């Protein structure tokens, strides 16, 4: 979120007065609650069930708006039935649950990597009770994963990055991404039926930045799509701890903004234009500081392709982490609601892709200061035992 520099100093000055009166140092205020990010420590040592140990990695998957729409049914021994929590979708921005399914693909890949670490082969059968249609999600499970003991199963070196992976929304520095780095990211997804592209060429960057910005304008200026995001804003540590999902805003700045009534869910939902404008300013800062964009494409847009794209994306994110690179998806121009369709077509043309293909993920790539982990729900919340 952006605010003018003068405005920022004024807000911080006022908060220092408020906090000073309460005897608190500004920097200690409103930190990310440790409990909300405990999942990033990895599997709890007391957990013996390899399925639960693998799930503690899967829970860290990147996923739209961090809604974590996952249910892992463990009632069958040595297997997990993976079900979509249909209460955690984003129908306005993601009307066909394409992005939600992509997030499920990332979850499954981390589950597979986690299972291998404990000497289990994860045999994944997608849609064992029948496929979902492409237009809507069904109530059929996404997949059944059998845990087959195989002591020599190949360990995945990317496991070492799972606890370090982040979505990084900071400005990136101007250092170029190299051909070698992009090739390594591409190679990390070789086992999946997806295409990978990237660019750091100035003219192409400018064109793609412009599309991303206009797409963002469309999303923010349509109430249904904007409010869908606002509803999952978790502003300040108490809300973050209560939900452990959604989009987190915390720290002295946001604490002060909320205390002063300048930034709150209620204010944003009341149609207030300043909060909307802050969102637009925020994306402009990101776009202006992006040395490379990359994308993952499938030939068709069926559910299996979406799962594959999610697996490819999380592998790319893990490989980028290993290389010291930051990533952030920019999904607005990929969204499939009517007002966005012209942008979606323009975006595909800008990437020189055939109309029949689907850009499943489009993301910033570069170097940035480390960012903190995002919250995760307790493992028990997603398990049905």
Ligand X SMILES: Cc1cc2nc3c(=O)[nH]c(=O)nc-3n(C[C@H](O)[C@H](O)[C@H](O)COP(=O)(O)O)c2cc1C
Q: Are 90 and 101 in contact (CB under 8 A)?
A: no
**Residue bearing tokens 């499920």:** 104
CB nearer to ligand X: give 216 or 255: 216
Least distance in angstroms from the C-beta of 60 to ligand X: 6
CB nearer to ligand X: give 49 or 381: 381
CB nearer to ligand X: give 65 or 207: 65
Least distance in angstroms from the C-beta of 195 to ligand X: 17
Least distance in angstroms from the C-beta of 372 to ligand X: 9
Q: Name the residue among 310, 307, 298, 286 with its Cα closest to residue 365.
A: 286
- For 267, phi then psi, to 5°, come to -65, -45
Least distance in angstroms from the C-beta of 215 to ligand X: 10
Least distance in angstroms from the C-beta of 99 to ligand X: 4
Least distance in angstroms from the C-beta of 164 to ligand X: 11
CB nearer to ligand X: give 145 or 309: 309
Q: Name the residue among 379, 356, 59, 363 with its Cα closest to residue 189.
A: 363
CB nearer to ligand X: give 256 or 286: 286
Burial class, 45, CB count within 10 angstroms (exposed 0-12 / middle 13-18 / buried 19+):
exposed
Q: Which strand ranges, in their side-by-side order, compose the sheet holding 120-126?
A: 120-126, 143-149, 79-84, 70-73, 383-384
**Interatomic CA distance for residues 339 and 131, integer angstroms:** 28
Residues that bind ligand X (CB under 6 A): 62-66, 99, 102-103, 106, 166-167, 169, 328-331, 374
Least distance in angstroms from the C-beta of 330 to ligand X: 5
CA dihedral 26, 28, 32, 37 (to 10 degrees): 160
CB nearer to ligand X: give 199 or 374: 374
Least distance in angstroms from the C-beta of 382 to ligand X: 15
Least distance in angstroms from the C-beta of 310 to ligand X: 6
Least distance in angstroms from the C-beta of 362 to ligand X: 8
DSSP letters, 117-166, are HTTEEEEEEE-TT-PPPSSS--SS-SEEEEEEE-TTPPPPGGGGGTTT--
CB nearer to ligand X: give 120 or 233: 233
**Residue bearing tokens 């520095």:** 173
**Interatomic CA distance for residues 171 and 177, integer angstroms:** 15
CB nearer to ligand X: give 11 or 106: 106
Residue nearest ligand X (C-beta atom): 62
Q: Are 373 and 37 in contact (CB under 8 A)?
A: yes
**Interatomic CA distance for residues 278 and 136, integer angstroms:** 33
**Interatomic CA distance for residues 62 and 65, integer angstroms:** 9
Antiparallel, parallel or unpaired: β 143-149 and 120-126: antiparallel
How far is residue 329 from each of residues 119, 191, 253, measured CA to CA in Å?
A: 32, 21, 25
**Interatomic CA distance for residues 209 and 384, integer angstroms:** 43
CB nearer to ligand X: give 19 or 379: 379
CB nearer to ligand X: give 106 or 111: 106
């Amino acid at each position: 979120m952006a605010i003018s520099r003068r405005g920022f100093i004024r807000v911080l000055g006022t908060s220092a007065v408020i906090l000073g009166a309460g005897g608190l140092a500004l920097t200690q205020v409103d930190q990310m609650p440790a409990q909300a990010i405990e999942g990033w420590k990895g599997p709890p040592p007391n957990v013996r069930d390899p399925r639960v140990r693998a799930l503690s990695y899967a829970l860290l998957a990147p996923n739209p708006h961090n809604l974590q729409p996952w249910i892992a049914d463990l009632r069958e021994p040595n297997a997990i039935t993976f079900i979509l929590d249909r209460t955690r979708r984003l129908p306005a921005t993601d009307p066909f649950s394409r992005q939600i399914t992509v997030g499920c693909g990332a979850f499954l890949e981390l589950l597979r990597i986690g299972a291998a670490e404990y000497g289990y082969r994860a045999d994944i059968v997608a849609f064992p009770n029948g496929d979902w249609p492409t237009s809507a999600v069904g109530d059929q499970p996404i997949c059944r994963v059998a845990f087959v003991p195989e002591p020599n199963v190949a360990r995945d070196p990317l496991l070492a990055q799972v606890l370090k992976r982040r979505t990084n929304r900071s400005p990136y520095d101007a250092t170029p991404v190299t051909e070698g780095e992009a090739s390594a990211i591409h190679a990390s997804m070789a086992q999946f039926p997806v295409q990978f592209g990237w660019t750091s060429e100035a003219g192409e960057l400018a064109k793609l930045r412009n599309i991303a910005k206009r797409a963002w304008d469309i999303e923010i200026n349509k109430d249904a799509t904007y409010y869908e995001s606002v509803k999952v804003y978790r502003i300040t540590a108490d809300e973050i701890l209560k939900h452990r999902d959604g989009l987190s805003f915390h720290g002295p700045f946001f604490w002060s903004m909320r205390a002063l009534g300048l930034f709150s869910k209620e204010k944003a939902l009341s149609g207030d234009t300043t909060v909307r404008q802050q969102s637009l300013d925020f994306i402009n800062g990101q776009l202006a500081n992006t040395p490379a964009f990359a994308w993952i494409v499938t030939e068709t847009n069926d559910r299996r392709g979406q799962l594959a794209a999610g697996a490819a994306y999380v592998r790319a994110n893990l490989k980028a982490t290993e290389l010291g690179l930051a990533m952030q998806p920019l999904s607005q121009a990929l969204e499939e609601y009517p007002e966005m369709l012209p942008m979606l077509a323009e975006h595909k043309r800008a990437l020189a892709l055939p109309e029949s293909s689907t850009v499943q993920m489009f993301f910033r790539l570069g170097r940035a200061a480390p960012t903190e982990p995002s919250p995760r729900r307790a493992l028990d919340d997603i398990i049905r035992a």
